[in-house]
């Protein structure tokens, strides 16, 4: 299973790199046209900002390129997001990554930064005139901070994850070049190494400087790194 996950992550890296290069290759010539008459009449570009729930309060900036060629139905979407998340259980994180001490008042906070690359296909659902079913690859970097006030402990647990996601995105014209955007979907992230202080636990069962007899399962249960992530966000889009 671990080998399979490693292969999937490697394949997704290649897909992400290749897809982004293709997007730049296709989009750049269209943007480079000096005369409106010489530009592709269907070429469209837009960008916007979303906010809402993404396993915590989240923000996402995105850009969309569509109508690369006449009759071509797919759009490409690149997103960059930040989410404030639950870092996990401070007592469990302390035991698994530091020691069994119990002194101090626990505090925790977590966050993820990530990006997504999607392909969207227009669909007709619920009488929505501009709706797209999108799906693609995800990448997220997680950091959970655990602090024990008065207990002399302040440490981070970090991880990075590749994943897959799908969503339904709907656009509602507001006048001029602006749209109201509704985004509802689900992301899934593959397990990855959890590193904190001088300790690391890997999904394949190996560990660096593990505490007592703790394993990756214990670390996974203690930390709030991304796995399944439901998304419901609302925002604005501007059409260039």
pLDDT at 42: 67
Distance CA 197, CA 98 (A): 7
Backbone angles phi, psi at 20, to 5 degrees: -65, -40
pLDDT at 6 over 70: no
Judge whether 139 and 164 are in contact, CB under 8 Å. Answer: no
Nearest to 236 by CA among 55, 93, 51, 71: 51
The distance in angstroms from the start CA to the end CA of the chain is 45
Per-residue model confidence as pLDDT tens digits over 66-113: 988 888 889 999 999 999 999 999 999 999 999 888 889 999 999 999
Per-residue model confidence as pLDDT tens digits over 117-169: 999 999 988 778 899 999 999 999 999 999 999 888 899 999 999 999 999 99
Within 10 angstroms of residue 25's Cβ, the number of other Cβ atoms is 9
Judge whether 1 and 202 are in contact, CB under 8 Å. Answer: no
Distance CA 230, CA 167 (A): 10
Write the CATH number of the domain with boundaries 2-239.
2.40.160.70
Q: Average the pLDDT over 172-195 and give the result.
A: 96
pLDDT at 25: 43
Above pLDDT 70, what percent of the chain? Answer: 82
Distance CA 56, CA 191 (A): 19
Q: Provide the whole-model pTM.
A: 0.80
Q: Average the pLDDT over 60-66 and give the result.
A: 95
Distance CA 138, CA 158 (A): 17
Q: Find the DSSP H helices in 32-111.
A: 90-97
Residue spans per domain, the chain: 2-239
Nearest to 216 by CA among 232, 233, 235, 196: 196
Q: Which residue has the higher pLDDT, 182 or 10?
A: 182
Beta strands (DSSP E) in the chain are 44-53, 57-66, 75-85, 105-123, 131-149, 153-175, 178-189, 194-196, 199-201, 207-208, 228-239
Q: Mean pLDDT over all residues of the chain?
A: 86
Distance CA 38, CA 33 (A): 7
């Amino acid at each position: 299973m671990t080998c399979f996950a490693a292969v999937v992550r490697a394949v997704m890296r290649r897909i992400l790199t290749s897809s982004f290069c293709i997007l730049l290759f296709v989009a750049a010539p269209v943007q480079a046209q000096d005369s409106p008459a010489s530009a592709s009449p269907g070429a469209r570009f837009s960008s916007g900002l979303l906010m809402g729930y993404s396993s915590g309060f989240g923000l996402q900036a995105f850009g969309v390129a569509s109508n690369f060629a006449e009759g071509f139905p797919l759009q490409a979407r690149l997103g960059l997001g930040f989410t404030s998340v639950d870092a996990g259980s401070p007592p469990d994180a302390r035991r698994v990554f530091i020691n069994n001490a119990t002194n101090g008042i626990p505090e925790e906070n977590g966050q993820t930064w990530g990006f997504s690359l999607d392909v969207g296909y227009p669909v007709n659902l619920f009488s929505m005139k501009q709706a797209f079913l999108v799906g693609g690859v995800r990448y997220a970097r997680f950091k959970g901070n655990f602090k024990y006030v008065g207990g002399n402990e302040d440490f981070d647990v970090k991880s990075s994850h590749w994943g897959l996601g799908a969503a339904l995105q709907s656009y509602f014209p507001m006048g001029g070049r602006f749209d109201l955007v509704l985004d509802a979907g689900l992301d899934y992230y593959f397990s990855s190494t959890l590193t904190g202080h001088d300790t690391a636990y890997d999904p394949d069962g190996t560990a660096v400087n593990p505490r007592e007899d703790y394993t990756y399962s214990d670390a996974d249960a203690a930390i709030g790194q991304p796995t399944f992530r439901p998304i419901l966000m609302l925002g604005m889009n501007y059409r260039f």
